[in-house]
Each structure stands twice: as C-alpha cells, then as structure tokens.
Chain A
C-alpha cells in the first residue's frame, strides 16, 4: 500500500502531504508560542507598580546577557540562511554542498545551545537576590549553602502516612546512627535505613488501619454507641545517637526556632539551630518596591551596615534623577510618577567600604539605560583590595563567594527573619525570569528537535537522494520550514527578553 501525494503535489491543492502537514503543525506552533506571548503581554501589562515584581527585574537589566542574545540571534539567522541554501543545493543536485550547509546548520544549533547554557549557568549559579521584609531587594551572590537552615537534629518525629518525611533529604552527615523511640533495639546506621524502614512501616500502618476500620465498621453495625473508635499509631520518632548535621531547605519548613524545626509535611525535628543567617555578597540594591519617601529609612541599610554604601546609592540615584529631570524639563513636562518607581532610579550598585565618590562619573552623560557596571566593579575591587582586609565574617563556607566576587568582596550576614523571599535568578525569581526561562527553554527544545531532524536527513539521506532526490528535497524543505519558524520565534524573543 502506498500513500498518494507523498512526493508529488496533489493537483487541486498544489501541495504534497508533508508540506500541508508541516504548515498545519506550524499553525499550532503559532498558537503555542502565541499563547506564551499572550501570557507575556498579559502578565507584563498587569504588573501593579510597586506591588508586583517589575519587568525587567534584577541582574538582567544591566548585565551583558544582551550580547549573548545578540550572538545567538546572528547564529540562528545564519543557520536559517544555510538551511535554504541546503535546499537549493539539493534542487541543483549538489550533494556535497548540501552536506556542507546542513552540517553548518547543525553546528549553528550547537553553538546556540552552548551560549544558552552559559547564560543559564550564570543566572542559576552566580546571581542571587534577597528581598527583605520591607520589599527592598539586594542583588548579589549568596555564599554557597548558607541559604539553607543550618541545624543539628537529635529527635525526629514524622508521619507514617503520605510521602517521604522531609528531613531525610536534608541530612548532610548521618554517620552516628539512629534508634527508634520506644523500641531502642530497632537501630538504623544511617538515613537511608530510616527511609527503608519508613517505606516498610507505611504499608504496615496502612494494613493496620484497614483492619482497624473493618473492625470498627462491624462493631458499628452491631451497636453504634459502644463501638470502639479506630486508633492506629501513625507517628514514629527516631532518636539520633548524636547530633545529626542538616541543611534544611527553607521552602519545605513551616517554622523553626532555636531548638526545633517543623516541616510542611508534619515532620518535626528537635535539636539545635546552628546558624540562622544568610551570608551574602551585595552587588546592587534595588528599591523599586519601596516608596520613595521610605527608601532612606529602609532596613536594607541596617542589614548592610555601611553608610558609604548608602551614600553611594543615593548619589547615583540623584545623578539619574537629574538626568531625567533635564530631559523632561526640556520638553516642559514633569517626570512621570511611573519613572519614580522604575529601575533607572532605583537599582544601583553599592560597594561596602564607602567608595561612593567614584560612582557615576562614567555614565554621567549616558542616556542609555545600560550602565557600564563592569567598570565599577573593576574600579571598586582595586580600591577594596587596597583598603579592606579580608572580612571576619567571611567564614569557612564562602569559597563560592570568592569564586564569583573575587577575594576582596565583603560578605554580610542577613538575619533570616528579615528575609521575605530569596533565591537565584532562576524561574522563581519573578515572572520576568519565569517567562524568560519557560520560553527560552521551550524554544531550546525546538532548536534541539529541529537540529536532530536535520542531522538525520543529512546523515541518512544519501540512500533516498540516490533513489529519489526530489523526495529528499521535499523533506529538507519541510524541515527547513520548521527551522525558519524556530528562527522566527527567536527574532521576537530577542528584543522581548533581552532589551526591553
């Protein structure tokens, strides 16, 4: 059996099957990315100023990711051109040229993904932010591991129903061993054994509960009043033989105090809180979510504890304000309120150690929204290396901080009760990042998928080329259509995600 119109177009529609198919598929892709673009517009337009996280937000505003995006745009355009040339080469029956162009396209796709990877890595692992309780935000780097709650547990109580108790994943050192409360003979060498015991006991408890319920129901049938209610012990407590080191994920924890830790799933741990502060290297302060009149009294200045940094921030702000005021004055207008909340006025690098004076000279006359913060970093770190000795607070866990910020950066301790929200610049950090990661990742999947299909065509295409070159040309045309669409999506993503 042969399906008609696989190679030759049907006379009345003028299309061969695959071409019609790919256009239909692309129509649904238009709706897919259209839905995401709609979400982008809907969420961005719907941002309540001063309440929701603004767009754009955080490090993306002035980091040089835009050059990576730019590079990727060029790469994709080039690949798009090559895919057309590959098709032309096939039409001209030039296999060598076809091969060359196709491998070029696949190489472009690889470069694209590598650049993407660099960008993701930088956002996910090297940039963090902390929002304090008054909505002021510090941008910088969290010293590795200090965002977790440092705790030593001795007694763990958990449910024998439902999912795995939360504490098991958080234990970092478990060589002391545990025993079961009430039955000290039951011993566990490590957390993995506790986990195994939990899984076993969970099904045991489920069986017991089923039996109890059956008994209760049969007693109910006889006499409603005298039936003994169901009682099954669904809790268990494990005692550690010594303090167990844990790093608890604050997102899984409901509450913690100096001696206890309770998880969202009902697990509670008794022990001792070791450290309750997040070590942080500040690079910028962001005041977009703080009312202008409250900015000077914000708690962020207490947390940073450096007058110089504060002065630096407001100096930079004034500089920006004057620049804007001048612009609007020329046109006989006042600065719109929305600008007051914008990042132009409210996001500035700060450097602990009081080097406010050197800030802002470089971009004094610059009207572009990007600041050359690279310059500041360089300038300040030389200053710091001369002036500041290694800080006391920089404790054992801060290697990561050194790596990113250089040896001279000043780490501050942020008390956990002053933190409203923190995280890396991953999708969680705000909807701008969320849509950035969702759309670029989905687009990346399309790039990978498309590249694989094109690679398949060039690697295994020779046989078909010899048999029926037109069929292969059709395939390449169809694959190319998809590839152009992928390029097309990126053309819109680039300005929306990197520039505006």
Chain B
C-alpha cells in the first residue's frame, strides 16, 4: 500500500474512512476482515464445543447410572419430552445425543476452531498478506458454516428430534430412520444431511481461499522454506478438505435422495425394515456409503490433528528459545501425511468383509502413515531437548499435547491391523483411542493456541493463575476419562450400549481389581463400590463419568479467563510479548484492517532463536538488517518452480 499511485492513494483514504466509520454490523457481523471472521468462527465453535460437551455429560450419566433419573434436567422443557417417565435417559435420547455429540464436536466444534478460527486469524498474518485472497468468499464460508450449525441445532426441536443414526450416519439405518413422519423434510435425519451440505460447502470455499492465499499472497521474501510450519500445516489441511469433502457431499446428496426421493443408492434389494419389505427399488449398496463417508472422514482426522500440531510447533520453539528441530523434515512429513491420508480410509471398514488383498493394502498404508506422524512428534520432542524452557500456560498445554497425542497414536496401531481390529471394532477401545488424539490432543493444542495468540488479539495477557487452574485439572480429568476406556474396550464393552453394558453381564462383570487391593480401596473411598467388594469393569463407568463432570468444572476458570482478561488482563508488553519470530508479531496489536503498517518483508527462516552472536535470543523474520538480495529473489523463484 506504500505505492503512491493515485488509485492506491484513493483506496487507502477510503480504507481509513471505513476503519473509523463503518457501522457495527459491517465491522463485526458481516465483516470481510479475516481477523473478525476468525474470531466469529472461534466464538461459534466454542459455543458448539460446549453444547457437544453437554450432550456427552448427559450420555455419561446414562452410562454410569442407567437406573437413576438424570438430576436437574428432568424439568427442562425439552427434556420433559425425551426422558422417560422416571426421568431416565431413553435409548432414543442416547442415540440422538451420541450422533449429535460426534457431529457437533467434529464438524461444528474442532474443525471450525482449528481451521476456521486459528487458520483465518493467523495464516494471512504469518505470510504477510493484507487479508485472505477472497475476503467476501471468506465471509460466505463463515455464514454457510453458521447456517449448517443452526440447522443442526434446530433439528433437536423437531417432533422427530435430531439425527439418531450415529455421527457416521450409516445407511440403510440413516435412510430408514423416522420414515413414518408425514413431513419427511422436517425430520432430524434429513436436517442432518442438509446441515452437512452447508458445512461441506463452507469448508470447500474455505479451503480454496486458504490454499490460494498461501500460494499467491506470501509477502516479499517469504519463500516456501521460510513459511512457518503452521502455514504449511494449513496448506496441507486445505488440500485435505478440498479433495476429501466432495465425496462426502456426494454421499450426503445421495442419502438425501434416498430419504426424500425414494431412490435406493444405499438400499440393498430385499431390505426389510420393522418386519416389512422396504418400499424401494433396491439394488443399492450400503458399502458405497461407507466408502464415500470414510474417504472424507479419514482425512478429516488429519484435518482435526494437523492444526493442533501446527499450533504446538509454533509455541514450542518460541518457549524453548530454540529453532524448530528438523523443520524441513517436518514439512516433507506433513506433505507425505497429507498424501497418505487419502488412501487409508478403509481401515475403518475391516469388518465389512472386504477382500484380503485390498485389506492388506490398507493395512500397509495405515502403518505407513504412522511414519510421518512419528516424525512430526519426534521433531517436536527433540526441539525441546536442551532448551531453556519457559513453562508458561501455552507451553504447558503444548507440552501435554505431545504425550497425549502419542498415546492416542500408539493405541491406534492395533486398530490398523485387521485381525485385532475385528475384536476391538466398535468398542470403547476405539473411543479411547481417537479421543486421546482429539480431546487431550487437539483440544489441548487449541487451548495452547488461544493462550498464545490472545495477546495479539486483545493486547492483554490471559491470567497465568487461572491458566494453571485450567490446565492441571483438565490434564488429570482427560486421562481419568479415557484411560479406563481402554480396559473396558479390550474386554469388549460396546460403544453404543446406552446402559453402559448392564445388559451384557458376562462382559461387564469381569474383574478389574481384586477386593482388598489398593485399587479397590481407592474405589471404596470414592464410594464407587461397596466396602469389601471387588472392582468390576462396569464400575469404571462411574469413575469415567465422574471425571467427565469434573472436566466440565475445570473449564470454568478458562471461560472466566477468556472473557475476563479482555478487561482485567495484564497489558501485553509491546507488540511481541513472547519474543516470537514470525510475522504476526510485527503488526500493531490488535492488527488493523489490512494488517501491516508497511509492506512486510521476510528476511529469514521462521525459527531463528538463540542465533549465535545475535543481540537477543531471537531474530525475527521481519527484522530487516539485510535487504533481500537479488540472489535470494532468484532463489525464491526457482524454489517455487521446483
């Protein structure tokens, strides 16, 4: 914008004008500024995360105490209709909450928070761009996301309730559920599909925008190998969304046709529903749905995890005051990961009776994909080696992320092989595995990000005390929730039993700890078992649920911190309170519309901490002692063509 042509000058003036006088709705609601959109994404997704968490707490009650009325909720208007006469959770309600918990957490909670919020806010700043490549498209993708979310939320209040066929929405169950309603359009199952179509469209637009921005809007000197790792991860995530989501959109459209148009894409010949022949032409394939669904949903796992790894790999070098170890290796690893993510999907489908040859193929690719994942995690670990680590709150979360993600990843290995998978499929083992990846994994990464970039967004620091109050209980509760699930899952507890396994005496009454052992004593102390009794596996349900509710309480300090620090937080010291090196810390705080005061230039790589002989322990990308030489420009050109 420093070019002083008349046209530019005019635009600049207009800009200033807009900055001061734009009406509230233009500035904060229908805004095209990537930072405002990022914050919009952030708040919406945090709300949905809270809703998804709430659904889970109700489910955990049903699992822990299937024979007791749910406390407090029975008198809430909506619950009056869905709980049974005694106030207990019904199977229908459990199914509904289970399906919606998964949907909301994945599609409305974590992806928008990770990709939508952080991606939107940080990416253009880190590459030195004034905004996203298509600002209006960016706004459109937020509003599509919101419409999808609202449709999902509204579906709870329909006569049929929200979707009940699991977050995977497998046909033919999803096709045939609630078909007796005379108004099929306004059933939860149909609205789920419609909501998904909106969410998918939003993600597609977002992905186009991200990739375009990263490829085309990098500032002067920002060569490919000077991109912060966060940006690389966003680029790969963008490609995952761009190419994996359309097949799910296809699946959603086809399922919509099955429900509303009476087609039989996923309805096999001779299907019986409720003892009656299902009225459709038949000839479809339920497996086709699963293929299309998992073609998205496996890359989706990496969409969930990559932004978290990316955030953590920004925070670790910053707080160890050391360069990111193996930056180039990590970049190549993340690209390989992105590529392999597309050809592993059928490991979710080993029990569908697929051929041994193709199953072998998927086992091989699945094990292969652990190689780049391990490279990423190992690089992060080594980055900490020998550093003088500042254990501030973001760093605590980032540090905890590594072992938590590690547990999640390693426990996934047995699931990669078809033989153990046949045993573990659909048990709590699977639940524990992917929740370790996503809950204490990704969500910790996202918390770390919030604590890390909060001073950039508000010019104030979040409270460290409240941060500790948030971190330690969360860490303990997360493990308290998911660790017992491994034991239950290996014993064969099924994930969809709404009574927590009461109906399966043989499995659920297996011994976890003998009477009189220390473990049993501890359980006695917590009033989980009768004095002198042995601990059965089913008793772990109560422990898990207890930790889940405590986890909810542990989020209170965070909420207070998030909102309170805007007013009472300590002022950030300058524009770069953490002493970080990447470009977002060179802007005024909070960054204005258009981001940079003068055209930013990247002079060096993103992680130049503790450079020998330097004045301070960090040399920022934007510190311009040396101008960009012609040789470097040539280098940039040749690299981008390579």
Contacts and interface: CB of A to CB of B under 8 A. Distances in A.
The short answer to whether A and B are in direct contact, CB under 8 Å, is yes
Interface of A: 1-5, 10-13, 15-17, 20-21, 24-25, 27-29, 31-32, 34-36, 38-39, 42-43, 46-48, 51-53, 161-166, 168-169, 206, 209-210, 213-214, 216-217, 220, 229-230, 251-252, 254, 263-266, 421, 423, 426-431, 433-435, 437-438, 442
Contacts of B580: none
Nearest to B83: A213
Contacts of B254: 39, 438
A166 to B, nearest CB: 5
B85 A213 contact: yes
A253 to B, nearest CB: 10
Contacts of B637: 11-12
B281 A3 contact: no
Q: Which of A16, A28, A165, A169 has the most CB of B within 10 A?
A: A28
A39 B288 contact: yes
A47 B269 CA distance: 10
Q: Which of A5, A43, A47 has the most CB of B within 10 A?
A: A43
B265 A214 contact: no
Contact of A428 (B83, B130, B180, B280): B280
A464 B182 CA distance: 51
A2 B8 contact: yes
A17 B129 CA distance: 13
Contact of B86 (A25, A39, A217): A217
Nearest to B213: A17
A280 to B, nearest CB: 18
Interface string B151-189: 000000001100000000000000000011111001100
B279 A421 contact: yes
Contacts of A163: 159-160, 180-183, 186-187
B181 A434 contact: no
B288 A43 contact: yes
B632 interface: no
A438 B257 CA distance: 8
Given A17-B216, A169-B182, 11 more contacts: A5-B216, A21-B209, A24-B212, A48-B283, A52-B282, A213-B85, A217-B87, A428-B264, A429-B281, A438-B253, A438-B257
B315 interface: no
A1 B181 contact: no
Interface string B112-150: 000000000000000001110111000000000000000
B87 A438 contact: no
B641 A12 contact: yes
Interface in B7-24: 8, 11-12, 15
Given A163-B182, A431-B264, A13 B215 contact: yes
Interface in B262-302: 262-265, 269-270, 276, 279-285, 288, 291-292, 295
Contacts of A27: 242-243
B623 interface: no
B80 A206 contact: yes
A219 to B, nearest CB: 11
Contacts of B87: 213, 217
B358 interface: no
B81 interface: yes
A366 to B, nearest CB: 30
A442 B182 contact: no
Contact of B207 (A4, A28, A426, A435): A28
B314 interface: no
B131 A1 contact: yes
A258 B168 CA distance: 43
B183 to A, nearest CB: 6
Contact of B182 (A12, A165, A213, A430): A165
Contacts of A229: 85
Nearest to B77: A210
Nearest to A254: B276
A3 B208 contact: no
B280 A39 contact: no
Contacts of B204: 25, 28
A434 B261 contact: yes
A164 B183 contact: yes
B69 interface: yes
Contact of B208 (A25, A217, A421, A431): A25
Q: Which of B187, B216, B264 has the most CB of A within 10 A?
A: B216
B246 A31 contact: yes
Contacts of B422: none
A216 B208 contact: no
A168 B641 CA distance: 67
B587 to A, nearest CB: 13
A315 to B, nearest CB: 29
Contact of A17 (B12, B134, B179): B134
B263 A431 contact: yes
A499 B449 CA distance: 56
Contacts of A34: 246-247
Contacts of B295: 35
Q: Which of A39, A263, A433 has the most CB of B within 10 A?
A: A39
Given A17-B216, A163-B181, A166-B182, A43 B280 contact: no
B182 A438 contact: no
Contacts of A11: 637
B640 A12 contact: yes
Given A28-B204, A32-B250, A434 B180 contact: no
B74 interface: yes
Interface in B327-371: none
Q: Which of B15, B183, B282 has the most CB of A within 10 A?
A: B282
A32 B249 contact: yes
A427 B262 contact: yes
Contacts of B207: 24, 28
Contacts of A47: 283
Contacts of A251: 262, 279
Contacts of A43: 265, 283-285, 288
A29 B80 contact: no
A162 B593 CA distance: 50
A261 B281 CA distance: 24
A17 B180 CA distance: 49
A36 B283 CA distance: 16
A428 B80 contact: no
A417 to B, nearest CB: 13
Contacts of B253: 438, 442
A435 B257 CA distance: 10
Contact of A2 (B1, B83, B180, B264): B1
Q: Which of B207, B261, B276, B594 has the most CB of A within 10 A?
A: B261
Contacts of B69: 217
Contacts of A210: 77, 80-81
Given A10-B216, A11-B637, A429-B281, A3 B246 contact: no
A13 B216 CA distance: 7
Contacts of A430: 264, 281, 283
B212 A438 contact: no
B217 interface: yes
B481 to A, nearest CB: 29
A162 B159 contact: yes
Contacts of A38: 247, 292
A436 to B, nearest CB: 10
6 contacts: A1-B1, A2-B8, A48-B283, A217-B85, A434-B263, A437-B263
A423 B204 CA distance: 37
Nearest to A129: B281
Contacts of A32: 246-247, 249-250
B198 interface: no
A221 B11 CA distance: 71
Nearest to B130: A1
B216 A36 contact: no
A454 B495 CA distance: 52
B594 A4 contact: no
B160 A427 contact: no
